[in-house]
């Protein structure tokens, strides 16, 4: 388990380096290095030897932690063994080709150039899901389990159904309000304010890095080497939001119980919980009116005078738009609901790849009331399907819901965070998250974790209560 | 072979990252990741399977390149198999402990605190050498083979004997001359001049990185991702020399025949040849009076006006001193000769560890005419023996000799480089090195490579001709 954990860390290092440090012409070599790492990892993760060790341990008198290690190791081993190496290699090749074809098709706004790759990815995902699906389980369920083990497709359907109804009503309500203009903050000011804000909440040089990359992301090389990235290009508030978002991912990994380090349980448990941690810091801290005072002070200190209320208005402005990654907090989950509906239909054979652009247009009009002028601004905007990822999108919305549930519970336990946030004091939030969420690592799956932390299953109401005021403008 | 090459590259990435990018608290985790990589590499490099493949290939009708791949693979495999895993693990643990103990002992200027670790490293190196030594071969020879396969200890003894005699005479001669004061160049000016100089000789962002680290070094992640580091702290000319030095290492790896990439032959062949490449650029380009015009122009452009002749005087100033890493080009090999004598005597049992400080003092007085005021400035100055490296030091001096031989041959072939270097034109030098040295990768060992490139074996005269003028001041 320690060896597999080290290999996973090396894979993360090689990917981080590629996106942040590597000179461009190193790409071919890096591809080889990553493929070799993946092959070695797969060999070890699926070895007969590992299965034998697990069988031997079954009879032993194990402590709680050891039992969890063996339980999850067996689950991972069995799932990994069900996928033939040839299929895994085909998937990985098709994903590389698909991403390349997607890039070109989006540039050219030409869906037909992407359709064959997408078709291939769908077929391979179906084959992959069939290998993994349990008795009477759907293919899509098996794909979802890769990202969020134990989250049920039926429950998602119900949850997203009521969520999209309620949100569409709020979108209607918001349509009347006028969104404030986004402040034009110079990149150097953004950078200074982001760095100062991160320092206030615990980001120091001894165990963190903050770098720039084309798309913000977080990497962790063990608990004491955490690396977040952001970008300062847009002239608006994106860097403030995204740096807090990435901080949430990073903090999760840093606060896993040290006893789990270099075991198979020593990382975040699922995509939804990870996203709930980033969304908690993005939505409930960075978008909190009291914390706007901290960020406005840092911006002002960096030479860009701005009123906290004005900053906060920009941070919570609602305006239905075509692009997911720049969507406001209220409409964001609707972008996800659409993707969930469409990928589910494609995997289940209810939607032909050639019908995707039309279904996308229909969905955007139904959910957001907008016309899609081109596929580049429609179904070609995200890389996920090009890379063969199906079952990943839901976690973006589920994360928003769980974040709101956790925040309500946290404020019930600790009292309103307003006074603390006004002073940039987040230690009680960090400690609460460590106890309720982070320390468990992979010992608890998504649903039991949420139930343990909040006392109820995943639900939409707390999120709806959180966004409702934004609709009023 | 490709897998082993990829693992070696990942090891280099993890080490580069640790020295250049990693936050300090990541060190423990990085230690685990590197140990896992080393274990996986060792497993594969010594596997029965690999031996079987090589045996099968023996009977096949192979082309020239394939024959070389198999020949060197068999040599590496056989050597690796002779070392028991337990001994390898002990050596690696003792090296880690020894480096820590060395750090503390040097800080405290207390040789006795380091002696037990050194004793242990010597004993383990003896045991390791005995595993590897061929019929009638000495233990030290086996250690030397790790760094420079095929270079004979007897030849080194003869070479270094005559070299030290001639150099000591030149040191006597230099004692009269007064060394010029080193120019005090601000760090920011150094950086600008170093970057501009490197750009002129081909260092571009698409396949290079230039970073800062505590000790300058070079890393390569395949042929199109080369990373050199330097430091700007000293206020003098070190960064100019060391950046050209590291460029030489980097260029060697970049110009290995692309057909050898991801084979076992696709890297530099030995420590001596690698050092000859760095020394060629440091001694024969950076210290060339014509190239001083280029560097002086870059320094002046960066705001530090300096006369080329003044810069050149500083770059070739001779002054016997106690510390190897800051030694001038003339006295540098004498520091190495002393270390070679002493490590050879320790490994052969002719010098007790407890007698090392005295032997060091005697040697420095004999070779450089200096009194050693403390062990910190004496036998505690280098990390190598603390890290268990014996047989590594000679390559530093042999590299100087080979560099001078190559430079004489190159100028015989291409004509004097003076006019080209005045304009910063180095393409013919790069091409000549590619053809004569670099492209071979590991297909030729040190001695045959030198013979092929220069028409003679390793000899001291070209180097003595190179440094003689420096003694005149």
CB B111 within 8 A of CB B357: yes
pLDDT at residue B3 greater than cutoff 90: yes
pLDDT score, position B177: 73
Q: Which of A456, A399, A410, A468 is nearest to A435 (CA)?
A: A410
Concatenate the DSSP letters of all residues of B220-257 into one string: ESSTT-EEEEE--TTSSSHHHHHHHHHHHHHHHHHTS-
Please give the share of chain B, as a percent, with pLDDT higher than 70.
100
Which residue, among B222, B229, B260, B266, would best test binding to A if mutated, counting the most A CBs under 10 Å from its CB?
B222
B2, B209, B262 ranked by CB distance to A23: nearest: B209
Q: What whole-number distance in Å separates Cα of residue B353 and Cα of residue A44?
A: 44
Phi, psi of A45 (to 5 degrees): -70, -20
* Count of Cβ atoms closer than 10 Å to residue A39 Cβ: 16
H/E stretch holding A96 reads helix A85-108
pLDDT at residue B264 greater than cutoff 80: yes
Whole-number average pLDDT of chain B: 95
- Chain B nearest-CA distance from A24, in A, is 5
pLDDT at residue B180 greater than cutoff 90: no
Catalytic residue IDs of A:
246
pLDDT tens sequence across B120-175: 999 999 999 999 998 999 999 999 999 999 999 999 999 999 999 999 999 998 88
Q: Tell me the mean pLDDT in the region B257-286.
A: 98
Positions in chain A whose pLDDT score sits under 50? none
Which residue, among B27, B36, B49, would best test binding to A if mutated, counting the most A CBs under 10 Å from its CB?
B36
Residues from chain A that touch B223, judged by Cβ atoms under 8 A, are 29
pLDDT score, position A83: 93
Contact B17 A13 (CB under 8 A): yes
Residues from chain B that touch A223, judged by Cβ atoms under 8 A, are 29
B14, B207, B262 ranked by CB distance to A25: nearest: B207
Q: Tell me the mean pLDDT in the region B299-328.
A: 95
Q: Which residue of B has its CA nearest to A22?
A: B225
Phi, psi of B287 (to 5 degrees): -95, 10
Tell me the H-state helices in B280-417: 289-301, 308-316, 332-347, 356-368, 394-414
Query: CA neighbours within 13 Å on the CB side: how many for A448?
Result: 9
What b/e string do you get for A304-321 counting C-beta neighbours within 10 Å, with b at 16 or more?
bebebeebbbbbbbbbbe
pLDDT score, position A168: 92
CB B324 within 8 A of CB B215: no
Q: What whole-number distance in Å separates Cα of residue A360 and Cα of residue A380?
A: 10
Residues from chain A that touch B21, judged by Cβ atoms under 8 A, are 21, 209
Q: Tell me the mean pLDDT in the region B59-84.
A: 93
Give chain A's length.
473
CB B101 within 8 A of CB B113: yes
CB A462 within 8 A of CB A405: yes
Contact A205 B7 (CB under 8 A): no
Contacts (Cβ under 8 Å, ≥6 apart) of B386: B95, B98, B99, B101, B102, B103, B114, B117, B118, B121
Contact B25 A221 (CB under 8 A): no
> What is the distance between the terminal CA atoms of chain B, rounded to a whole angstrom?
51
pLDDT tens sequence across B209-225: 999 998 999 999 988 99
A6, A24, A221 ranked by CB distance to B26: nearest: A221
Structure tokens at B47: 């596997």
Structure tokens at B259: 């057909």
Please give the share of chain B, as a percent, with pLDDT higher than 90.
91
Catalytic residue IDs of B:
246
Residues facing B371 on adjacent strands: none
């Amino acid at each position: 388990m320690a060896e597999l954990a080290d290999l996973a860390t090396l894979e993360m290092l090689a990917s981080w380096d590629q996106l942040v440090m590597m000179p461009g012409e190193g790409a071919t070599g890096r591809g080889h290095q990553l493929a070799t790492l993946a092959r070695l990892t797969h060999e070890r993760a699926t070895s007969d030897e590992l299965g034998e060790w697990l069988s031997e341990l079954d009879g032993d008198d194990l402590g709680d932690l050891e039992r969890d290690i063996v339980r999850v190791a067996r689950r991972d081993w069995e799932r990994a063994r069900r996928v033939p190496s040839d299929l895994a290699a085909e998937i990985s090749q098709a994903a590389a080709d698909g991403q390349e074809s997607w890039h070109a098709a989006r540039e050219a706004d030409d869906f037909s150039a992407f359709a064959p790759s997408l078709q291939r990815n769908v077929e391979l995902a179906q084959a992959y899901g069939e290998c993994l699906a349990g008795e009477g389980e759907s293919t899509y369920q098996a794909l979802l389990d890769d990202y969020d083990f134990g989250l049920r497709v039926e429950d998602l359907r119900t949850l997203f159904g009521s969520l999209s109804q309620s949100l569409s009503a709020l979108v209607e309500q918001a349509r009347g309000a006028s969104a404030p203009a986004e402040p034009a903050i110079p990149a150097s000011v953004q950078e200074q304010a982001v760095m100062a804000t991160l320092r206030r909440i615990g980001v120091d040089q001894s165990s963190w890095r903050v770098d720039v990359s084309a798309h913000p992301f977080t990497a962790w090389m063990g608990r004491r080497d955490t690396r977040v990235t952001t970008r300062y290009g847009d002239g608006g508030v994106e860097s403030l939001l995204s740096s807090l978002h990435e901080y949430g991912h990073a903090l999760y990994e840093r606060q896993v119980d040290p006893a789990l380090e270099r075991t198979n349980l020593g990382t975040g448990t699922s995509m939804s919980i990870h996203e709930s941690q980033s969304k908690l810091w993005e939505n409930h801290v960075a978008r909190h009116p009291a914390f706007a005072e901290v960020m406005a002070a840092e911006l002002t200190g960096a030479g860009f005078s701005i009123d906290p209320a004005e900053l906060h208005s920009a941070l919570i402005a609602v305006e239905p738009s075509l692009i997911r990654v720049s969507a406001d907090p209220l409409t964001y989950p609707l972008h996800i609901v659409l993707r969930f509906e469409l990928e589910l239909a494609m995997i289940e054979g209810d939607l032909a790849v050639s019908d995707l652009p039309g279904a996308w247009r229909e969905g955007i009009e139904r959910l957001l009331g907008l016309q899609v002028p081109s596929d580049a601004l429609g179904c070609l905007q995200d890389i996920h399907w090009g890379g063969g990822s199906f079952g990943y999108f839901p976690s973006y919305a589920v994360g928003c819901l769980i974040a709101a549930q956790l925040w309500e519970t946290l404020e019930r336990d600790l009292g309103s965070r307003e006074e603390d946030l006004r002073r940039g004091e987040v230690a009680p939030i960090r400690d609460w998250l460590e106890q309720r969420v982070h320390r468990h690592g992979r010992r608890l799956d998504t649903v039991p974790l949420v139930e343990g932390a909040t006392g109820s299953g995943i639900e939409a109401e707390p999120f709806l209560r959180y966004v409702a005021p934004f609709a009023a403008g």
